[in-house]
């Protein structure tokens, strides 16, 4: 599993460098440059991966359940998409702690705040790199799609 440090110290340049980790473990280090804006909303401006030995690319997950049904409301769709993300991570031998990057495609800018709240609820203190894009989604009934990149060290 990856290791997300809690508030790692900054180096002399103001950046957040690597800190201790177990041998063979991938470390996810939030990087915030001292000469760029700090992130707001539970994500990292950049993530440095130390010692990754496995990487999993999860294709965009959509709000469709095993019966082919899609919830009508945004919150229901968002939680279902995250359930599908977790299922793909688990199938690949990964978990939420291993996520390095999240890309979210929203059909409506008005859902951005609720999307962020649900993401923070699911990810907790984890702060992967994040991109949110407002776009037309493949199926008009889908209000979002989420893809992730996960990494972990030698097990």
Q: Which domain holds residue 118?
A: 58-148
- Structural domain includes residue 35: no
Structurally, the chain folds into a number of domains equal to 1
- Structural domain includes residue 154: no
Q: Is pLDDT of 19 > 50?
A: no
Higher pLDDT, 28 or 25: 28
- Structural domain includes residue 155: no
Question: Of 114, 131, 41, 132, nearest to 73 (Cα)?
Answer: 114
- Structural domain includes residue 125: yes
Is residue 16 within 8 Å of residue 31, measured between CB atoms? yes
* Structure confidence at residue 9 as a pLDDT band (50, 70, 90): very low
What pLDDT score was predicted for residue 59?
96
- Structural domain includes residue 81: yes
Is residue 128 within 8 Å of residue 99, measured between CB atoms? yes
Q: Is pLDDT of 20 > 70?
A: no
What are the tens digits of pLDDT across the range 48-84? 888 888 999 999 999 999 999 999 999 999 999 999 9
What are the tens digits of pLDDT across the range 99-140? 999 999 999 999 999 999 999 999 999 999 999 999 999 999
Give the span between the Cα atoms of 127 and 131, in whole angstroms: 12
């Amino acid at each position: 599993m990856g290791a997300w440090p809690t508030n790692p110290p900054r180096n002399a340049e103001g950046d957040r460098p690597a800190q201790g980790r177990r041998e063979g473990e991938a470390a996810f280090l939030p990087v915030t440059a001292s000469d760029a804006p700090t992130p707001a909303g539970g994500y990292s401006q950049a993530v440095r991966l130390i010692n990754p030995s496995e990487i999993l690319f999860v294709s965009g997950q959509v709000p469709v359940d095993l019966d082919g049904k899609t919830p009508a409301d945004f919150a229901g769709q968002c939680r279902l998409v995250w359930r599908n993300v977790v299922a793909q991570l688990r199938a690949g031998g990964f978990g939420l702690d291993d996520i390095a990057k999240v890309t979210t495609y929203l059909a409506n800018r008005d859902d951005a705040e609720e999307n962020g709240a649900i993401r923070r609820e699911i990810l907790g203190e984890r702060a992967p790199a994040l991109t949110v894009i407002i776009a037309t989604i493949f199926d008009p009934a889908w209000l979002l799609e989420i893809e992730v990149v996960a990494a972990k060290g030698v097990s």
